[in-house]
Amino acid sequence: MTSKERMLTAMRHGIPDRVPVAPDMSNMIPARLTGKPFWDIYLYQDPPLWLAYIDAVKHFGFDGFLDYQVPVVFDDERPTEPSPWGQAIVARTDERLITQAYRLDGPREVWAPHVTVYYRENPPTHGLSPAKAGVPDVPGSWEPVEGARQWPEGEELFRLAYELMGDRGVVGITCGTSAVVSSEQGVYEYYDNPKAVRERSQRIIEWSRRRFDNILKMETRPDYLSCGASGTLIFQTVEMFRDVSLPVVQAVTNWCRETGIVSHIHSCGPERELVKICAEETELDVIDPLEVPPMGDCNLAELKQLYRRRLCLKGNLHTTAVMLKGTYDDVLAASRRAIEDAAEGGGFILSTGDQCGRDTPDANIQAMIDAVETYGRY
């Protein structure tokens, strides 16, 4: 089987030629492998993150799994008026760039109340106050952001990513969310004005339906749709999730089931209850990263026993204790244990419990690949 065939077979709850292996490295490791400052990837799109990820798949040879890094925006989702805001670099050192948005009010510049810090060796931090970033609210000097590479947009962008990935893996598109409430401010809003949050949930369903219809019209169809959100049960209690987010997940996964598209949720953090709800009350196909304590609350063997006929499980090696700090043999052993816990009967993808850190040894990624070759045959 090709990597794409292998992944899709497992995602559809089948038995591929061996266990697929797709460590979660959607950001830091691909950026590191470019050898460039991280601001080249995140600010200047040279290369964009989705292309850096595809290059990482080719570098290591694992089974690719690409989704939210491909920022597909359809024509009817674009603002009808051009944005009045520009971006400026307001501070620069060898280790970081700081950008701030501005607009013109006559001859006067009006500056946004937040900045973004782009680092040489880390992903950016968004939404900082200027004071917290160590710059004044109104910059004394600045330079426009220039030289960013231009890439196709919309369906053309997706087609390019899909073609470049080829048979090395699957490429998806986002549609919907499992976290209508996703911030501290959102928690206050939910309790202070629940009606407004429920109305927003309904608008998200309507927006997702329009997006889903656009996806169905694409000449190059995605391999799957992602309707998850990081930390679904971090800001939301289970009751809040059921109230405002479960209807979104149910709608999107129902549409996927009706049209034969694989559906997927990524939600780091505590996830055990989310797995149960999705298995019993939605048409979801795939869920990850199923993190172990203390970052999550999932036991892979238990989840496999409970939901083997309903969900493809993707996970769940510990990203710090095992992947970052462990040895090759540690990763090999943890991979073998995960395979033994969840591979029987198919419907399993060996992966990591969320994002691998920047300094994860390349040998530990190789250990996961070696593990499926040695222990992942059916």
- What's the pLDDT tens digit per position in 185-206? 999 999 999 999 999 999 999 9
Task: Provide the pLDDT for residue 153.
Answer: 87
* Domain stop point among 144, 166, 183: 144
pLDDT at 218: 96
Residue 98 and residue 243 share a domain: no
What pLDDT score was predicted for residue 68? Answer: 86
Q: Are residues 39 and 181 in the same domain?
A: yes
- Can you list the residues of the chain whose pLDDT is less than 70? none
Structurally, how many domains does the chain consist of?
A: 2
Does one domain contain both 139 and 169?
no
Q: In terms of domains, do 234 and 160 share one? A: yes
One-letter identity of residue 1: M
Per-residue confidence (pLDDT) for residue 316, from 0 to 100? 96
Give the DSSP H or E segment for 120.
none
Q: Assess whether 245 and 112 both reside in one domain.
A: no
Alpha-carbon distance of 366 to 109, in angstroms, equals 51
Same domain, 163 and 122: no
Domain of 109 in residue numbering reads as 86-144
Write out the H or E segment, with its range, that includes residue 143.
strand 143-144
In sign, the C-alpha dihedral spanning 144, 146, 148, 152 is positive
pLDDT at 233: 97
pLDDT at residue 63, rounded to an integer: 98
Amino acid at the residue 117:
V
Instruction: Provide φ and ψ at 265, rounded to 5°.
Output: -130, 130
How many CB atoms are located within 10 Å of the residue 189 CB? 15
Alpha-carbon dihedral sign for residues 158, 160, 162, 164: negative
Altogether, the residues listed in the chain come to a count of: 378
Neighbours of 92 (CB within 10 A): 14
Query: What is the pTM for the complete model shown?
Result: 0.96
115 and 227 in a single domain? The answer is: no
The DSSP bridge pattern shows strands 108-119 and 125-128 to be antiparallel
The per-residue pLDDT for 245 is 98
